[in-house]
Structure 1
Amino acid sequence: MPTQQHDVLAELFRFSPRLAADLLVDTGVKLPELVRATDISESCTDLKTSEFASDRAVLLEFDEGRLGVVVEIQRAIDAEKHYSWPLYQATLRARQRCPATLLVIAPDPKVAEWCAEPIDTGHPDYVLRPVVLEPDQVPVMTDPESVAEDPALGILSAMYHSDGRRGEEVLQASWKATVVLAERNRELARRYYDYVGAVISDAARKFLENKMKTETRYYSEFFRNAEAKGKAEGKAEGKVELLLRILEARGIELTDEQRERICGSTDGAWLDELGRRAAVADSAEGLFD
């Protein structure tokens, strides 16, 4: 089931598509000089059959060609990914008519180790080796100005390093970067702060909240926003629970992908619409038409 951390990490690549190129370089992949990075459709389904969709897809453009990047956020070991990941990579390659690679972000070290295992597709000499981001490939960002210049990378730095040896320095940079961003763009600052809070541990989040509360004048604005967001998410969770009960009562079965899509949503209006459809639909497909 998607979580707030999962969704925020995936959203980073829509927020900053060039992050895919930066991370591939950090993992040792050699790329030409980047001209353009574009967030593109992550859907891997061309017909109305079972829906397959990666977490994000990015198209990198260079002077001499293009590269598609499938981005997957993996928080647990899931053997099914050894079947869907080659599909994602092959579909993106075919759709964009260019080479494609698979980039996996797995915050848990044990899960990351599993993600890096080669995937034998069965075809001679075709073994998919996922590119997995390691903590030591993400810079420890302690300069607030640097974080403000590249908030997406700053969020990853906070996720990987806020509980480590230099965790306090990283968190200090995070809250100071929030202040720097607020002077330039309040909406971007709120978004950055919310994203950091979603990907770090409870202890790190508490430290960050205390810093914001005692050392910046932006506390009330940021936390009013966070509180309102929390209430909205709470309402969405209730709607998800009600919708699942309706579907269960009517004997409508969901695929894992469909269930994840519903459970990961915080869009109250969309969930309300699904609830209305669930009352008359004969199958799960009728919910999403």
Structure 2
Amino acid sequence: MATAARVPETEIVRRSEGGQSYVDGGAVLAGIAVATAISMLLVAFGSGIGISLTSFASAETLPGLGMVLALGLWLLWLQVTASLGGGYVTGRLRRRIGDAQRHEVEMRDGLHGLVVWAGGVIIGSLVAAWITTMGVSTASHIVAGAASNPQAASMSDYYVDRLLRPEAAAPAADVSADARAELGRLLSLNRITAADGEDRSYALQRISTATGLNEQAAAERLDSTLAAIKARADHARRLSVLAAFVTAASLLVSAVAAWWAATRGGSHRDEAIDHSRFTAWR
């Protein structure tokens, strides 16, 4: 009696999946489009209430700790919401291939969600780079305009003004623009600390001449100004570290959200969950 040849199960699965890619490009693009649209919507909303990526665009006005935390929560909300939306769409639209087991289907759905998340991160990075470039361009225009506009001010100008502010009883001395610029360069290069005797002596002489202060009072004013500059720089460094940590944490949470949403979308696809009640307008 003839017996039928038994074909290994792996060959059956391979033939049913032959020539097909495991990555559903259309579903991924749809998920990225939805995630990007949600991100743009929330960016517009955040800008409307005064919270946006441009909060750090100006080096002249540093945000406070509360502003950084608010920006971090807004960024977390933005990324998680966009990842949930994009991940669910790509999971729901992805085509199943062959007779893959349930755990493999869930894995592929989740990986599609991660691809959507990665695409969103790339687009967000490009947008952030563009904002940074625009910020640098704007700063260069401000600096160029300051040369021709005496009313244009910067933090460097403020600290120079603070050093050259005359005493109430002393007449204001006429300080040339070149002398002010030179003093500003000494400040920016940190060349007038206690260890730099020649530059410090020159700065003290300029301050005494302009303000009428004696050498000791001029030294006290210079040291207090340098302390204020150092405190501002330390504050900026702390804010930068906090902002970087919040950004990394929100990216990690949004990646998990994209994976979970994609697996839920795939589960609803396989179970044919009916969402028509959300789209019935009658």
Higher helix share: 2
Larger radius of gyration: 2
Structure with larger RCO (C-alpha < 8 A, sep 6+): 2
Calculate the TM-score normalised by the size of structure 1: 0.25
Calculate the TM-score normalised by the size of structure 2: 0.26
